[in-house]
Amino acid sequence: MVAHAYPEYSLTKPSTLVAISGSGNVSQFTALKVLELGATVKSLSDSKGSLIATEGYTTEDIRSIGQLKLKGGTLESWATKQESRRFTYHAGMSLLSSILVEV
């Protein structure tokens, strides 16, 4: 549907930035599909806040988050374990607010 309504935002273009609400099972598979198609996933969220990937998430990031979520972990706990500065966690902020902070 996106491709028909907004061809300039095709999921096959890395310049298309995607924000995904959630970080559970459905959100993880959505993120993996978006990456497979070629677009860039910029954010995931959970009930505690939003996690922005400044350069975009990788498949490995999504799989790692999936393993943590199976154990009941949060995006905040995942972000604190990362040594990279690629991620910015925004506690208590909605997904849209987090994206606006980054833009």
* pLDDT greater than 70 at residue 101: no
Share of the chain above pLDDT 90, in %: 64
Q: Which helix (H) or strand (E) holds 51?
A: strand 49-53
Of 25, 27, 28, 76, nearest in space to 50 by CA: 76
Q: What is the pLDDT of residues 40-71, one digit of tens each?
A: 999 999 989 999 999 999 999 999 999 999 99
Position 94 scores a pLDDT of 58
Cα gap 37→13, rounded to integer Å: 8
Q: What is the span of the domain harbouring residue 39?
A: 2-102
Q: What is the CATH number of the domain that holds 77?
A: 3.40.50.720
* pLDDT greater than 70 at residue 103: no
Cα gap 60→68, rounded to integer Å: 12
Of 38, 49, 102, 36, nearest in space to 78 by CA: 49
* Sign of the torsion angle spanned by Cα atoms 25, 30, 31, 33: positive
Task: State the average pLDDT over residues 21-34.
Answer: 95
Task: State the average pLDDT over residues 80-85.
Answer: 84
Cα gap 61→49, rounded to integer Å: 17
Cα gap 2→15, rounded to integer Å: 14
Q: Give me the number of domains the chain comprises.
A: 1
